[in-house]
A = this chain, B = another copy of it.
């Protein structure tokens, strides 16, 4: 049965690529209100595809925000394993547009990659999973296990409405394990299974001083410059080693065991690769941890954006009325997102001098997620990668966040498998892309995984 499905996948590869390009053309940017109709269009496009391939109970389900797309196929028997497949059809904003070599929503193929916003995060990965189901249904007339699909339209917003949706649909979503294809393998020859995701808390620091921009000649020396005050606050978020100075920030962090650190040392991620991926002059961060640990197993505090005053060409000698910074913190188990948001707010508020007004605004918060790295589902995934990629998968942590995984895990009480098919791929950046070879191999990996799940 596997062979028939794999052959079928191979034969229909070009057709599936065409479909993927269609999906990539829909600018389903969830964070920008203007793209609301595109989000709806992407949901409808997926629902139609799912319907066509023979999935059942296909429905676009409303939330307080963007809709969820649900479908299932439950004819493998009551005893069979049930997978809850999660993916998201929304994408990050494409800005800055002028840095794209080809337009973000006109997918372009060059050098064996498709370039488009959302190519890697998450459309091609979600689509590999979807096409694996189509292939099995078409070639075998059935799936080896039961599957429920839950496609999110607000992942890039932090899935604000999905927790309520999941809580309200626990029975509908009941399953034995969660499967997600998102994020990155270590390299194109090194398949990777992630057993942890970081959480995230995001927000803004807003500093205001004078009621309007002031002439820096007339008032310079007597006014606390809001940019300077903001910089002074930001400079106190880390010590010189990269340790986050927010009091209490690390209190609940679960230390890695020796066994886990040893497992992570098997992941072939050297400084050369970091250098190639980042282009930064030199690594930075907590010296007690390896690069991979800093990027995945340690909590962080990042400034994602800053602005204030004059940004044009030349000079405008002002003391600006205000300055703002976007901040996000990545969390690990067992940090509590709400508590971290409070600690951050309290710390920044306490740092604020009385010469300016400082306001902290929290946008979203989500906890980290960890699943046992020796689960039988992860063992099945390792077998599947071995066949599809011809290499032993390593088990690692993912540095990014899929806030909803922790929620699903908590609400449904089941383990998860993070089965990434992507690479760094310029996700969240200009010129996002996806390797076409990964698209084919992803489908192949998923087909094998579903079959190996029957042998648990």
Contacts and interface: CB of A to CB of B under 8 A. Distances in A.
Interface of A: 31-32, 92-93, 95, 99, 157-158, 183-184, 198, 200, 202, 209-225, 227-228, 230-232, 234-238, 242, 274, 277-286, 291, 294-295, 298-300, 302-320, 323, 325-326, 328, 330, 354-357, 363-364, 398-401, 424, 426-431
A310 B31 CA distance: 13
Given A302-B216, A315-B31, A330-B216, A224 B356 contact: no
Number of copies: 2
A210 B424 CA distance: 14
Contacts of A427: 215, 218
Nearest to A211: B279
A386 to B, nearest CB: 25
Contact of A306 (B238, B299, B306): B306
Given A279-B210, A281-B355, A316 B428 contact: yes
A238 B231 CA distance: 11
5 contacts: A210-B279, A215-B400, A220-B302, A231-B231, A284-B355
A361 B213 CA distance: 24
Contact of A399 (B209, B220, B325): B220
Given A222-B295, A304-B320, A314-B31, A430 B212 contact: yes
B228 A238 contact: yes
Contacts of A364: 315
B294 A303 contact: no
A99 B317 CA distance: 18
Nearest to A212: B429
Contact of A316 (B92, B355, B431): B92
Contacts of A428: 213-216, 316-318
